[in-house]
Amino acid sequence: MTESSVREGGVRSSNMVLRVVCKLLIPFIMLFALYVQFHGDYGPGGGFQAGVIFSAAIILYGLIFGVHNAMRVAPPKVVRVLIAAGVLLYAGTGVASLLLGANFLDYDVLGHEAVEGQHLGILLIEFGVGTTVAAVMTTIYFAFASRQR
């Protein structure tokens, strides 16, 4: 990475400490987001919190290495599709339960037995929430950070 591309986002980030610490932190932030996401059934957490944490990793990257580099990691077009995909996963789970003969979002029918179905259902819809929230947060950051002055 050249020095000029680093400065492109208008952020002064030639600071070595920031860049190294940022690179160190990002994988753990993402991992923690996934933990909050998938452990949300049993402990505190869930899709919304996980989505925010996950997008925090991308936003941190954008802050330190410039928004243009962040957009190469998470292309806005893909992010926009993810916004829609999350909602569709949520609603699609509901439709799946409809097609399996139960009411909308009744997870009982999704598995072999009710408890298994409930687990699967909540996992899927929370993943939908997480996807959309992460994508929306990233989009909001991109929208503000890349505004033409």
Binding positions for another protein, rule: CB under 8 A? 80-81, 83-85, 87-88, 91-92, 94-95, 98, 102-108
What is the C-alpha to C-alpha distance for residues 132 and 12, in angstroms, rounded to an integer?
30
What is the C-alpha to C-alpha distance for residues 53 and 111, in angstroms, rounded to an integer?
30
Query: Which residues contact residue 107 at a Cβ distance below 8 angstroms, ignoring those fewer than 6 apart?
Result: 93, 97, 117, 118, 119, 120, 121, 122
Which CB, 31 or 100, lies closer to another protein?
100
Structure tokens, 41: 């059934």
Smallest gap from Cβ 98 to another protein, in A, equals 6
Which CB, 92 or 111, lies closer to another protein?
92
Smallest gap from Cβ 148 to another protein, in A, equals 16
Smallest gap from Cβ 80 to another protein, in A, equals 7
Residue 30 neighbours by CB distance under 10 Å: 15
Smallest gap from Cβ 130 to another protein, in A, equals 15
Which CB, 21 or 115, lies closer to another protein?
115
